Amino acid sequence: MDNHAKHEKYMKRCIELARLGLGHTAPNPLVGSVIVYEDKIIGEGYHRSFGQAHAEVNAINDVRDKALLKKSTLYVNLEPCAHTGKTPPCTDLIIREGIPEVVIGTSDPHPLVSGKGIQCLKNAGVHTICEVGKKDCIELNKRFFTFHTLKRPYIILKWAQSADGYMDVIRQPDETSEPNWISNEISRILVHKWRAEEQAIMVGTNTALMDNPRLNVREWHGKNPVRVLIDRSLRIPKSLHVLDKSIKTLIINEIKDQQDGNNIYIKTSFDQRLLFSVIEILYKLEIQSVIIEGGRMLLDSFIALGLWDEARVFTGTKSFGQGIRAPVIEGCTKIQTNIIHDLLTAYYNDQQILQ
């Protein structure tokens, strides 16, 4: 096996390890690291949770015979940090342990790190190889890269539609009920898994009023996302689940700025820039990803502006005949998967692909 193939192999293992931290590390990135001696992994680790040890530290600590570090190669999917944050710089530890070679998947877009970690290693005489499996490493941390390069959260649109293309039947404006389920139970569990992987979830006023959603991860183990509610004139009754104060909830409105327990009211102008303003609010709060689970109007607004990165659409087996038409996305990359009898289509906004 040549060196390039070997480096690619161990970088894939770094990515596998890094994924184990999904839903726990934000606003930090997903990072995995392995240490290799004579083509054998002797230590590995990943960043488990925000504020805890970084992947490189865990990988080094996993090595039983520390004397081997001076003859080994450390692999990591993201540039090691060279600054002190909640933990000391990883570059200092790598240099102190005498690791002679480091292979890096991609540089870090964070301004406190960007290029500094790589330069620090090179200045110390560490043989540093960069951009191994770069595309896959960026894809792994698409939320982190989007946040730091596009200055906004990674935006995922999600909805379910009937076999004949409807999101819902026609309901009366004052009709509050449970959601009209289209997808199957396994698909619904998958949605709760997704919620645990993202930092926020957003709905509009009509969805909150009609469906009375909880927007939590009760069907999966993980952290509840921050709820984001668009409610211009504060029409939503406090008796509904979304305002029960059990989860941090941002209520975007044009009336008041106020905090009431976990309910945080944020005032903004409801003009043609509304969605940009909402996304700016999330960016300032360091929210790196958001799922839009709103109704047709909210979803269409994001699509019309091109303000999205990914869309996940379940198509069920039942037909409605008439009702509220589902949004339509055209002219972009899509991947389809079957979830029992549901069809899951993932769309990717090619205009937003990170290089």
Catalytic residues: 56
Angle, vertex CA 116, rays to CA 113 and CA 120, nearest 5: 135
Buried b (16+ CB within 10 A) or exposed e, 7-46: beebbbbbbebbeebbbbbbbbbbbbbbbbbeeebbbbbb
Structure tokens at 333: 């990359």
Nearest to 205 by CA among 230, 226, 227: 230
Is the CB of residue 111 less than 8 Å from the CB of residue 137?
no
Structure tokens at 80: 């090691």
- The answer to whether 224 and 197 have CB atoms below 8 angstroms apart is no
Q: Kindly list the strands in the beta sheet with 154-161, ordered across the sheet, starting from the edge strand earlier in the chain.
A: 258-260, 263-267, 249-253, 226-230, 200-204, 289-292, 154-161, 310-315, 342-348, 333-339
* Cα distances (Å, whole numbers) of residue 183 to 106, 179, 208, 294: 38, 11, 19, 16
DSSP state, residue 332: S
